[in-house]
């Protein structure tokens, strides 16, 4: 029934099928399906231009891009990171045999707290891997200063940011490398997909080699690379998506504004505001529930929404540091990450995507208020 169709936390934007078919026809004719094809090359150029970055290397997904970014910088030992993210952030360290060291988050932005980074640095620390959570930029200046002082690399997990700028400069221009995700659930999707943004040609070349088994020519392999190439169907989707991205982000902005208007002033419910001088992409709309003031726990609200066919998601619950793989680490011990431990019990991300109707946003808000 139309009146009670499920509303999921997100839904991918899909362009008109005919537009995609035009690209598919070309792929069928050329029989060039992958390995740095025409659309792959076009998309790298188009994304550099759209995002305002110098070099980009496309990947089959964001997780392999994260793993490869660490390989490229030859990161070893310990890496300081946030427990408040999708598990792929820390898994990329684990797959590289690197020890994650969790540092708490700021209550205002939910990003890694720069004030707490220095205390976590040891002689084994080689890098910091912060996440621009929900697309809200980290304190990039403070993180740069700390990294420069201690000689650390910075790899940003920028999976939630697309087109985000600080003072008109892409957030992807900070750090040694930034890693993007173009998964179906993201603001900009290529079904699955990802990318590494870097700042010089030599690095771009090495990353391109690493994602192609380490080949530099037909017969020479210079590194134990992996297969993480984006294929032509994904790249074609990426090219079409770019035509719609501004309109899609604008719609997300309007949805965010409507949520804020409808939910403001509810006792025990808070949401994040826009940050000064930042152009946002509105990838998620998280709310935080204080059970004492709101009169219900986060989980009670989450279940109540589900009864009404509204499927918010508890991104990010549990914390990465609470998963079995990581909970034995020193930095993961209960009480060591007090802000993240509190927020993970309070958060629900409400539905947001470009095809979400304003009527559905009102329905979600009504359900929260009732
Ligand atoms: N770093 C960060 C900070 C990340 O958030 C992520 C991914 C990564 C790294 C890794 O990047 P990738 O390797 O994924 O490129 C989803 C996504 O799978 C994941 O990409 C994303 N973060 C994470 C936050 O969310 P799930 O398990 O919650 O997704 P799922 O399948 O439950 O989908 C959520 C909702 O989206 C569904 O209820 C309905 C809708 N949906 C989903 C898919 C896949 C659709 O309508 N169509 C679809 O095709 O992880």
Q: Ligand 1: distance of its center to the CA of 122 in Å?
A: 34
Task: For residue 348, give Cα distances in angstroms to 52, 112, 120, 270, 345.
Answer: 32, 19, 29, 11, 9
CA dihedral 87, 233, 36, 47 (to 10 degrees): -70
Nearest CA to ligand 1 atom 11: 62
pLDDT digits (tens, 9 = 90+) for 192-221: 999 999 999 999 999 999 999 999 999 999
Whether residue 317 has its Cβ less than 6 Å from ligand 1: no
Nearest CA to ligand 1 atom 17: 185
Looking at every residue in the chain, the average pLDDT score rounds to 97
Q: Ligand 1: distance of its center to the CA of 184 in Å?
A: 7
> pTM to 2 decimals?
0.98
Q: Tell me if 255 sits within 8 A of 271, measured CB to CB.
A: no
Ligand 1: atom nearest CA of 92 is 9
| pLDDT reading at 3 higher than 80 | no
pLDDT digits (tens, 9 = 90+) for 216-239: 999 999 999 999 999 999 999 999
pLDDT digits (tens, 9 = 90+) for 175-198: 999 999 999 999 999 999 999 999
| pLDDT reading at 1 higher than 70 | no
Assign 155 to helix, strand or coil. strand
d(CA 57, CA 44): 7
Q: Ligand 1: distance of its center to the CA of 183 in Å?
A: 6
Q: Ligand 1: distance of its center to the CA of 350 in Å?
A: 14
- Give the pLDDT band of residue 4 (cuts 50, 70, 90): confident
pLDDT digits (tens, 9 = 90+) for 24-34: 999 999 999 99
């Amino acid at each position: 029934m139309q009146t009670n169709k499920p509303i999921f936390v997100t839904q991918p934007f899909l362009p008109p099928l005919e537009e995609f078919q035009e690209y598919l026809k070309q792929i069928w004719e050329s029989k060039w399906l992958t390995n740095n094809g025409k659309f792959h090359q076009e998309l790298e150029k188009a994304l550099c231009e759209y995002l305002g970055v110098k070099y980009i290397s496309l990947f089959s997904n964001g997780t392999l891009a994260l793993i490869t970014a660490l390989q490229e910088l030859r990161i070893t030992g310990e890496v300081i990171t946030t427990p408040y993210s999708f598990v792929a952030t820390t898994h990329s360290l684990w797959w590289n045999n690197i020890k994650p060291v969790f540092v708490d988050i700021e209550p205002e932005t939910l990003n890694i707290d720069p004030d707490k980074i220095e205390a976590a640095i040891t002689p084994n620390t080689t890098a910091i891997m912060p996440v621009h959570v929900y697309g809200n930029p980290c304190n990039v200046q403070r993180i740069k200063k700390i990294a420069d002082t201690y000689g650390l690399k910075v790899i940003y997990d920028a999976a939630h940011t697309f087109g985000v700028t600080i003072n008109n400069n892409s957030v992807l221009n900070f750090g040694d490398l930034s890693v993007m995700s173009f998964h179906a659930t993201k603001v900009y999707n290529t079904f699955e997909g990802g990318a590494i943004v870097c700042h010089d040609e030599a690095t771009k070349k090495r990353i391109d080699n690493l994602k192609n088994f380490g080949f530099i020519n037909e017969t020479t392999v210079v590194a134990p690379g992996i297969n993480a190439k984006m294929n032509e169907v994904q790249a074609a989707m990426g090219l079409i998506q770019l035509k719609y991205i501004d309109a899609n982000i604008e719609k997300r902005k309007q949805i965010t504004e409507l949520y804020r208007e409808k939910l403001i002033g509810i006792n025990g419910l808070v949401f994040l505001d826009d940050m000064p001088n930042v152009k946002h992409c509105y990838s998620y709309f998280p709310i935080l529930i204080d059970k004492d003031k709101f009169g219900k726990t986060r989980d009670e609200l989450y279940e109540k929404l589900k009864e009404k066919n509204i499927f918010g998601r508890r991104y990010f619950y549990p914390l990465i540091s609470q998963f079995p793989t990581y909970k034995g680490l020193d930095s993961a011990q209960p009480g060591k990450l007090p802000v993240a431990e509190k927020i993970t019990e309070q958060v629900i991300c409400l539905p947001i995507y470009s095809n979400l109707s304003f009527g559905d946003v009102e329905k979600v808000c009504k359900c929260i208020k009732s």
